[in-house]
Structure 1
């Protein structure tokens, strides 16, 4: 039995994403057009539009569609802006960001995932997005960006990430301690930065950005 992916995509938008207060027209249009099934393993395509995180290998997961919708709406990149994505994963959110922004530079710690994500983006015709294998905590982009999207949680927000933002730029990041983490938008200001709390969630940690174990006597 073949799956009607177009119908599944429509249902995802109307039954999962809209009810979670994702109402921006550009974001909804992007999600309604992007073939999510093209970014998951063949064996998981039947679950491409399910309200669940999907495994990618190396213990990594593809975010739930509702969370991806909230991230896109929080960041709202424009056609003149540059984006850095930390943790490309499958390349799906990279593609969504690339449809909204001028360019996307994405990094992924696992070389095989980075290569697969780049291939998927090329197959979908995205010439304004690139994925490279790099560890965000041991890498320097050598430039700054208007928008940064961090696809995994951090115990505390790394100062180096904030420094990669252009003045007036913004970064989506989930920080804190599981299971009650804070999804936030960090705004780069002339005098530093300010953190805007968005909603509560729970994500796996970015490798190397986990909480320091507490020792008790």
Structure 2
């Protein structure tokens, strides 16, 4: 079996550190979790390239640099609970499990959800659970969450997800709701009032569940 440890190390050294990722916990988590396990075998050679990697069903594994910067912006603490929306094959959940106390990962594509559960179990991750269900609904049964991470771009604000934030909770996502250019965005809940802050320009494929509904045009 091919050893990808050098590829993980190079990802940290050439993609994350030069792009303002300085959180040691994020660097350690992404330098440890075997990203290649979460992509199709035919794509393992490009698992660590600095771009989104297709994982099937029209879904993508987010570019390492963008994912790392979103996690850094979320400022996840070791005692916090995290909701991972659109976990795909489970890579994001495995990384988040190294940063948080508990992770609830939601995936609406059944095959990907099953794969995520199997891979997380194989890696010995014990503080993450994969739930199959609509991405837009989150998982209110375990709410509120200290942090919510969305694994793809959104064309509409995720209102149901924002309602599941704890007081002081943060949601990070790439928002494509104000033009063609996407922006990494941080939402913070202050006693029921949600503030929104644009962090930096960002591009990643839009999650179909969060596409804007196009009305009829005469």
Partner of 1:145: 145
Q: Which runs of 5+ in 2 are unaligned?
A: none
Q: C-alpha root-mean-square deviation of aligned residues, in Å?
A: 1.7
Q: Which runs of 5+ in 1 are unaligned?
A: none
Shift of 1:82: 0.2
- Write out aligned runs for 1:29-40 (5 A): 29-40=28-39
Q: How many residues get paired?
A: 216
Partner of 1:158: 158
On the 8 A contact 1:179/1:201 being kept in 2, the answer is no
**Closer, same or farther: CA 139–12 of 1 in aligned 2, 3 Å:** closer
1:49-102 per-residue CA deviation (whole Å, 9 max, x = no partner) reads: 111211111111111111111121111211110000110012111111000100
Q: Secondary structure of 1:202's partner?
A: coil
Matched residues in 2 for 1:27 and 1:14: separation? 13
Q: After the TM superposition, which of the residue ranges 63-72 and 139-148 deviates more from structure 2? A: 139-148
Q: Secondary structure of 2:208's partner?
A: coil
**Closer, same or farther: CA 22–87 of 1 in aligned 2, 3 Å:** same
On the 8 A contact 2:137/2:160 being kept in 1, the answer is no
On the 8 A contact 1:82/1:146 being kept in 2, the answer is yes
Partner of 2:48: 49
**Closer, same or farther: CA 138–147 of 1 in aligned 2, 3 Å:** closer
1:147-184 per-residue CA deviation (whole Å, 9 max, x = no partner) reads: 00011222221221111000001000221246301211
Shift of 1:21: 0.6
Matched residues in 2 for 1:200 and 1:39: separation? 26
On the 8 A contact 1:183/1:199 being kept in 2, the answer is yes
Matched residues in 1 for 2:14 and 2:193: separation? 39
Matched residues in 2 for 1:169 and 1:13: separation? 27
Partner of 2:4: 5
Matched residues in 2 for 1:208 and 1:117: separation? 19
Please give the TM-score of this superposition, normalised by the length of structure 2.
0.92
Shift of 1:3: 4.4
4+ long deviations beyond 6 Å: none
Please give the TM-score of this superposition, normalised by the length of structure 1.
0.93
On the 8 A contact 1:86/1:106 being kept in 2, the answer is yes
